Structure 1
Amino acid sequence: MTAAVIDLGTNTFHLIIAQISPDNIEVLYKTNIPVKLGEGRINDHIIVPEAYERGLLALETFQNEIRKHQVDKVKAIATSAIRSAGNGENFVKAARSYAGITIEVASGDQEAEYIFNGVKASGAIRETSLVMDIGGGSTEFIICDENGLLWKKSYNIGAARLMQAYFNSDPISQSDRQAITSHLDNELADLKKACSIYKPMQLIGSAGAFETFTAMIDGQLDLNNTPSTAIDLEAYRILSKTLQHSSHSERAAMPNLIPLRVDMIVIAAILTDYVIALSGIERLSLSTYDLKMGVLENLRQSEAG
């Protein structure tokens, strides 16, 4: 079976097309388009007209690739921006009529499960672990071990939401950082409790910002062919400090930092630092497999019966 998965993220829409058999997933094609669906008014729960149009045009482009690859099954998963937007349902209807794409709006819990399935397939989970997926609209946390999922929750603390609410200076000021930390103190009390119960030993970052951290630390690593890899914690701490004390123009000149993430990577670093401190974790790793691979893994399991 040839399957396509579309991940309609808050910042980026992703398409992956794969040949699926009961015991294998072979990726045939993948691409992404930075639609910035959360641009401008994500905290007002609105997809602005310009972002709405970019999203539909991206889906039309994806549909052309899907037809070209003669795909048998399409799964399009919408996450936080569409889930929480007052006009999100209208976008789902427009996607069906304009681009012929039927969208499933995943709940936060469903999103976390897909992410867990993807990370599990990467082979990164070898001990009790905390998985973190920083999106634009939401951030998912999953505590798991080799035997399965122990705890999960999705929070509306994505990088785009926090950036629009708190990133008011360049470089980001100490007061802005403190405001984010105070907000996280309020939001993540139950994550702290869960970590004290399950005591995860490593933090696994799911794709996205963690791929950027890894590429900036080790630019020689081929992430396209690396399902999972360790991230040197001390090297990460140095990078995080550098990012938080740099200006937009300084970050824009840094190697392996894509334009879409030049500002949001600062928020991702603050979030990651907070979670490392909250959990007391001393090991960090990357899974390049995320929601998209999790959906493909579900399809593979269905094929296997």
Structure 2
Amino acid sequence: MRAAIIDLGTNTFHLIIAEISPSHQVQIIYKTNVPVKLGEGRINENIIIPEAFERGIKTLQDFRKEIDKHQATTIRAIATSAVRSAENGSEFVNAAKHQADIEIEVITGDVEAEYIYRGVKATGVIKSTSLIMDIGGGSTEFIICNQHALVWKKSYNVGAARLMQAYFNSDPISENDKTEIKTHLNETLEDLKIACSIYKPAQLIGSAGAFETFAGLILADLDVKTVKSVAIPFTSYQSLSKQLIASTHHERDQMPGLVKLRVDMIVIAAILTDYVIETCAIKEIILSTYDLKMGILSGLKFRQGLV
């Protein structure tokens, strides 16, 4: 079976085309991503602005061409926070169907967390009670699990794009902005704090995205395209986080390996990650390069009776 997976993220649209064999093997034959910035401008007002709407549909039209070129027979297009919260989200879904011949499934945050867990689990990195964290543009998902099962999960509307648009008002980010973010997190993530106090996860597993950036900036020889998971040195992360938060936009823009899309949002990601590390008493960080997309592929294998 040849399958195409589209992840319509708030910042980036991803396309993976994979061959799933009867022997359970998944071979990625095509992979691309486009910084659509669907949440640009008015994500906290729950609106997809016209420019972002147009970029999104154009990207899906391009994806459709690649899907047809590679003769994928199964297509799953999954939309997350930006589309599910937008007042004109249904208009975007309809436009994708009629203009790009792609049917979008808008999933809940709870289902999104489940897919992320499946993707991370497929790496084999979960060895003990762990907290999985996936920082998106519109939402951030948290999953507590062990090597046997998922035990708790929740999605929160504290994505990097939402927090940046609401609180990032200076360059570099001011102490007042940081305080307001932390106050908002305190108010929003109360049940995460309770869950961590109950289950006591020993390690944080960061799912792709910002954690790939952290790992790439710390581990100079790392090629995230060739690994499923890698440990991020804890003290090195702490030093990097301080540097990112204290830096100006220009200084970050000059950092090798920091893509343009994340030059500002990586500051929010660092603040959010620092908050979770401190609140949940985390002492170890691991990157999983598998995320929602690989979780969906795992689900396809199951549905097709291949595993």
TM range (shorter): over 0.9
1:100 is aligned to: 101
1:24 is aligned to: 25
2:5 is aligned to: 5
2:140 is aligned to: 139
1:284 is aligned to: 285
Q: CA deviation at 1:236?
A: 0.2
Q: CA deviation at 1:268?
A: 0.1
Is 1:205 aligned with 2:211? no
For 2:163 and 2:9, how far apart are their aligned partners in 1?
16
Verify the 8 A CA contact 1:59 1:101 in the aligned structure 2.
yes
Q: CA deviation at 1:196?
A: 0.6
1:250 is aligned to: 251
2:221 is aligned to: 220
What is the identity, as a one-letter code, of the residue corresponding to 1:4? A
1:156 is aligned to: 157
For 1:114 and 1:183, how far apart are their aligned partners in 2?
26
Post-superposition CA distance 1:10-30 (Å, at most 9, x none) = 000000000012411111110
For the residue of structure 2 that corresponds to 1:30, the secondary structure is strand
What is the identity, as a one-letter code, of the residue corresponding to 1:12? T
Q: CA deviation at 1:219?
A: 2.1
Q: CA deviation at 1:157?
A: 0.2
2:79 is aligned to: 78
Post-superposition CA distance 1:185-221 (Å, at most 9, x none) = 0000000000011110100000000000000001211
Post-superposition CA distance 1:97-145 (Å, at most 9, x none) = 0000000001000000000000000111111000000000000000001
1:122-133 mapped onto 2 (5 Å cutoff)? 122-133=123-134
Verify the 8 A CA contact 1:24 1:300 in the aligned structure 2.
no
For 2:220 and 2:180, how far apart are their aligned partners in 1?
33
For the residue of structure 1 that corresponds to 2:61, the secondary structure is helix
For 1:24 and 1:103, how far apart are their aligned partners in 2?
26
Q: How many equivalent pairs are there?
A: 305
Q: CA deviation at 1:302?
A: 2.0
For 2:12 and 2:125, how far apart are their aligned partners in 1?
24
For 2:77 and 2:125, how far apart are their aligned partners in 1?
25
What is the identity, as a one-letter code, of the residue corresponding to 1:230? A
For the residue of structure 1 that corresponds to 2:11, the secondary structure is coil
Q: CA deviation at 1:148?
A: 1.2
Higher-RCO chain (CA-CA 8 Å, sequence separation at least 6)? 1
What is the identity, as a one-letter code, of the residue corresponding to 2:18? A
Q: CA deviation at 1:34?
A: 0.4
For 1:41 and 1:190, how far apart are their aligned partners in 2?
27
Q: Which runs of 5+ in 2 are unaligned?
A: none
What is the identity, as a one-letter code, of the residue corresponding to 1:28? I
For 2:220 and 2:67, how far apart are their aligned partners in 1?
32
For the residue of structure 2 that corresponds to 1:223, the secondary structure is coil
For 2:192 and 2:74, how far apart are their aligned partners in 1?
36
1:63 is aligned to: 64
For the residue of structure 2 that corresponds to 1:122, the secondary structure is coil
For the residue of structure 2 that corresponds to 1:286, the secondary structure is strand
For the residue of structure 1 that corresponds to 2:163, the secondary structure is helix
Could you say what the CA RMSD is over the residues aligned between the two structures, in angstroms?
0.6
1:190 is aligned to: 191
Verify the 8 A CA contact 1:21 1:300 in the aligned structure 2.
no
For 1:68 and 1:169, how far apart are their aligned partners in 2?
46
For 1:122 and 1:48, how far apart are their aligned partners in 2?
37
For 2:138 and 2:184, how far apart are their aligned partners in 1?
15
> Which of structure 1's runs of 4+ aligned residues deviate more than 3 A?
none
Post-superposition CA distance 1:155-194 (Å, at most 9, x none) = 0000000000000000000110000000000000000000
For the residue of structure 2 that corresponds to 1:280, the secondary structure is coil
